[in-house]
Structure formats: structure tokens, C-alpha cells
Structure 1
Amino acid sequence: MDAALIRVPSAGSDDDPLADLAELLTADDALRGLVRLVPRPPVAGQLGGGWDALAVGVGSGGAATALATGVALWLRNRWRTPRGTVTVDIELPDGTTVHIGADGTAEPEKVVEAALRPWAHDR
């Protein structure tokens, strides 16, 4: 199954944005069992490296649409808090990387759906 990799450039802060996003995505029936946290390699002298990315299987059954909806909802919720601009990088299975930022000036749903639409419709 093809997988998209999702990275949050600010990941590694005290709040765990990748874990929050994983929790939101796994609540969607279309993505249940398709979302996996990818560990970051530990730095010398540390016990664990935290999370590097989320791997999301998007090969069938509307998973790409569910992914777009979930990421957009997460972005909308993140920029409503005092965190400022929030960005997400999504590496699609074909190697294309989409950089999406939400700062409250655009509708994240439309941005994410537009970014994923070409790949999702090819499947």
C-alpha cells in the first residue's frame, strides 16, 4: 500500500503535534489502522528521538480524502491557538512534497484538498 509521510517542521516542541495529528487521523474510520508514527533516530546521549513523521496508507477506499480532511481540521485547530503560523509537509507516494501553511488567512480545507487532489484522483 502507498503511504504519504507527514512532517510538522516545528515537531519536537513540548506539545507533540505529530502525536496530536495521529490521534485525530486514527479517529476517522477511513484511516483506522493506516496511520503509524515514525520514530526519529535518537541523538547520541539520548534514550529516544521522538517522532519524525506520520506514515499514512492512502492506497484505497477514500483514505486520501480522509487524510486531506483530517489534516485541514488539524491545521484549522492549530492556528486558532496562540502558536502563530503552522506548517505541514506531506510527501506523497509519488515523491511529490506539498508544503502547507495555515496562518488564519486561508481556509485550510481548500488548501489541503487542492494539494492532494491530483494524486488522489490518479488512484
Structure 2
Amino acid sequence: MDARIAIAGGDPEDLPSLYEWLVGEDELRGLVRISQRPIGQTELGSAVDLLTVALGAGGAGSVLSSALITWLRARRTSAKVTVEAEGRSVTLEIETLRDVSALLEQVLGTDDRHDTDRDA
């Protein structure tokens, strides 16, 4: 499974910074690549604006989840980080980090509980 990470707003250096942060994690080294978003019908081209992380067995999803939250807390940025995997997505912001941690784990498949347990 691949997780796609997009950053909206914030500083133009946020994406390169996040890339460097993620490849600094031993468990993610070699799994992170810079990608391009598909070109929309009204767009002339596509900028490099996505990170793709190959997730598999071995806990890479948990490492990615923790690394994203730590990076965002350390940045003091107004950026919004959207993580998408297998048709599910969640958007992270400094103000909502506490609220979205469980959702991020669900998107990345790192939470072992069943979906019905989350509604309780």
C-alpha cells in the first residue's frame, strides 16, 4: 500500500523539509519518494507536490504516523498535511493533531481495532 502526502499552504520549503524528515527515519529510508499530482483539466502542468510512502509489513505505517505528527508539531507552520491511503484520507493541522491521531492511524492501517469500535 502507498500513502500519498500533500501539503497545502505554509512555506514552499515544507514539502522538502518533510521529505528530509521522513527519510531520516530508519524504518522509512528507501520508502519515500517525491511524486507529482495528476494534472487537472484546467491546469497547464503539475508541480512536484506529493510525497509517496510505500507501506508494507513491519510497522512503517506506525512510524510514518508518528513522524508526521512530530514534524508538524515542530514546524509551527500554517500548512495542512493531507494523508491518503487506500481511498481514505485525513488532514492534519497543528490545532487538530490531538483529534486526528486516531484517524491517521486508521488511514494508514496502523490501528488494530475494528471500525465499529471507533464509533463508540
Of 35, 38, 42, the match for 2:35 = 38
Structure-to-structure mapping, 1:16-95, within 5 angstroms: 16-39=13-36, 50-79=47-76, 83=77, 85-92=78-85, 94-95=86-87
Q: Give the drift of 1:78.
A: 1.6
What is the CA deviation profile of residues 80-115 of structure 1, one whole-angstrom value per residue up to 9, with x for unaligned ones? Answer: xxx4x33110011x2101111113xx5x3x445412
DSSP-derived class of the 2:61 partner: helix
Where structure 1 has 5 or more consecutive residues not aligned to the other structure, the ranges are none
Where structure 2 has 5 or more consecutive residues not aligned to the other structure, the ranges are 113-120
Task: Answer yes or no: is 1:120 the counterpart of 2:72.
Answer: no
The TM-score normalised by the length of structure 2 is: 0.74
Over the aligned positions, Cα root-mean-square deviation in angstroms equals 2.4
**Identity level (%):** 33
The TM-score normalised by the length of structure 1 is: 0.72
DSSP-derived class of the 1:120 partner: coil
Bigger helix share: 2
How many residues are paired up?
Answer: 107
